[in-house]
Amino acid sequence: MAGEARDGRIVVVGASLAGLRAAETLRDEGFTGSLTVVGDEPHPPYDRPPLSKQVLLDEAPADSTGLPVRRDPDAEWRLGVAATGLDPLARRVLLADGESLPYDRLLIATGTRARPWPDPAGAALDGVFTLRTREDATGLAARLAAGPGRVLVVGAGFTGSEIASACRKRGLQVTVAERGPDPLVGALGGTLSRLAALMHREHGVDLRCGVTVTALLGDGAGRFTGADLSDGTRVEADVCVVALGAVRNVEWLAESGLAAGPRGIACDAGCRAFTRYGIVTDDIFVAGDVSRFPHPLFGYQMLSLEHWGNAVAQAEVAAHNMVSPGPLRRPHLSLPVFWSTQFGLNIKSVGVPTYSDHIVIAQGSLEAGRLAMVYGYRGRVTAAVTVDMAKSVDYYRHLIETAAPFPPPPGAADRALTADIPLPSDVPDPKGLSHEPVVALTGHLPDRALMVVQPPG
Amino acid sequence: MQIVVDLTRCQGYAQCVFLAPDVFRLHGEEGLLYKPSVPDDRLERVRQVAAACPVRAILVGEEVGTGGG
């Protein structure tokens, strides 16, 4: 069995971070068979986080973010061709160029794409961007370098906030429009989102919350000139960045019989895909942003994460399990972690902040702009977010992993006065946000509706 | 030569910023920005930086070879 598992044909669909790490790990784990990696973009795997930071700050060109490899995965790379279908019975992946690839085991790592502006006429205006790919970042960076009079950012999630931060750093006027009450509220809850709003305004962002953009306007020659907001105001701008979150790349699996939908492809803790009947497959694996998987620390909720670290960790587990007999397979149980750098602050999150009912500020303060906020659910620590306190993250990670009581016991010398006073975590219903949450809890909490619905419009 | 910093692991010790300020830079107190593509004449220094990182968050390597170039 072990010998068989290390031979044969493996196809990886998706040539970004998760696909690359899986391919490397397959070879690390002794896979000697044929390995093919399919990617719809023409580039070898590249890193995306710098696209909204270094690239927009003009410190690195977008085409310089290729991912380094630890070892040559000795794969056949089929780049610039999308997968268009899957025949699980014949074990073949269908490609846009009409070819089909046979496999013995398949890894799906097709990730997400930027959610486009819903009105195609508005989306097509010259000057309207989304930010997901190298080409997006190159085009947007060139427009910012040209010195536009004003930039409009639609959506104040992490990407939107980082874009606004880069614009201000470049001295550009920027307006941010967000449907929710404050920036980042969908990821961090109410208290920290108020700090985020302060951060925007202190850095000169024209932040408009509780409004939606009702129309993107053009000049008749197809150039973007501004937008109408739901409060009756109009914003004049030369560049618009639509930061409405991500769409999972699952359409190609519509006829596959897999449990693939807008929240991703459901899989077990061992990264094995479910069929639409909830039956686990044994030859189709899933990793990265496109997956949704159960996590025991969060009530076995199915989590969809758009996190760099999850793509790496899940790809490694998936690859290990693809070449290991059943009893040697491992679960993907690593804690969600993500980071963001904006307005000179380093924000890190561990656990699932939206899986919470209360928070305490355990260290630092909102006023100091330096703090550790701990989230609890029913008396147990479930997440922590630090602002400029990255060295504390591992401590809180340990509390989450050991299901420590909430509020947490004293553990830091600079413990805040507020550390024992829980406040409501004030996590909003995601349907009230401009952007999609980066963490989607797709199950059910009995005391709060957390079913994610498509934002209207 | 390419680098990527695992910012999940990064704790802002900033050793890299002291050792190779032309490649690594802080945005604020502890947000790390870096140049993902490093000229070959800086490779030895960047390898030293990667070895000096207290949390081993810096990965240095070639871009993937895809056969076609």
A313-345: per-residue pLDDT in tens? 999 999 999 999 989 999 999 999 999 999 999
CA angle B5, B9, B15 (to 5 degrees): 65
Q: What is the pLDDT of residue A440?
A: 64
Cβ pair A67:B2 closer than 8 A: yes
- Contact between A177 and A213 under an 8 Å Cβ cutoff? The reply is yes
- Contact between A136 and A51 under an 8 Å Cβ cutoff? The reply is yes
The CA distance from A257 to A239, in Å, is: 42
- Contact between A400 and A392 under an 8 Å Cβ cutoff? The reply is no
Cβ pair A60:B37 closer than 8 A: yes
Cβ pair A44:B64 closer than 8 A: yes
Q: What is the CA radius of gyration of chain A?
A: 22
- Contact between A95 and A81 under an 8 Å Cβ cutoff? The reply is yes
Nearest to A177 by CA among A137, A220, A127, A117: A117
Mean predicted lDDT score pLDDT of chain B: 92
Q: How far does the CA of residue B39 sit from the closest CA of chain A (Å)?
A: 11
Residue type, A199: M
List the single residue in B3, B29, B34 with the smallest CB-CB distance to A68: B3
The CA distance from A23 to A153, in Å, is: 36
Which token pair is A84?
């268009």
Q: What is the pLDDT of residue A290?
A: 97
The CA distance from A70 to B47, in Å, is: 13
Residues B9-20 have a mean pLDDT of: 95
- Taking the alpha carbons at both ends of chain A, their separation in whole angstroms is 52
Q: What is the pLDDT of residue B14?
A: 95
Cβ pair B61:A60 closer than 8 A: no
How many other C-beta atoms can be found within 10 angstroms of the C-beta atom of residue B44? 9
Question: Does ipTM exceed 0.90?
Answer: yes
Q: β-strands B24-27, B31-34: how paired? A: antiparallel
Cβ pair A337:B8 closer than 8 A: yes
Helices (H), A116-204: 120-123, 134-145, 158-169, 185-188, 190-202
Q: What is the pLDDT of residue A443?
A: 58
Q: What is the pLDDT of residue A40?
A: 97
Q: Whose structure tokens read 């598992």? A: A5
- Contact between A352 and A303 under an 8 Å Cβ cutoff? The reply is yes
Residue A66 in contact with partner chain B when CB distance is under 8 A: yes
Q: Residue A111 phi/psi, 5° resolution?
A: 60, -150
Q: What is the pLDDT of residue A350?
A: 97
Which token pair is A82?
């999308």
Residue type, A455: P
Q: Which residues of chain A have pLDDT under 50?
A: 1-2, 446, 449-455, 457
Q: Which residues of A touch B34 (CB under 8 A)?
A: 54
Q: Which residues of B touch A345 (CB under 8 A)?
A: 28-29, 31
Q: What is the pLDDT of residue A418?
A: 82
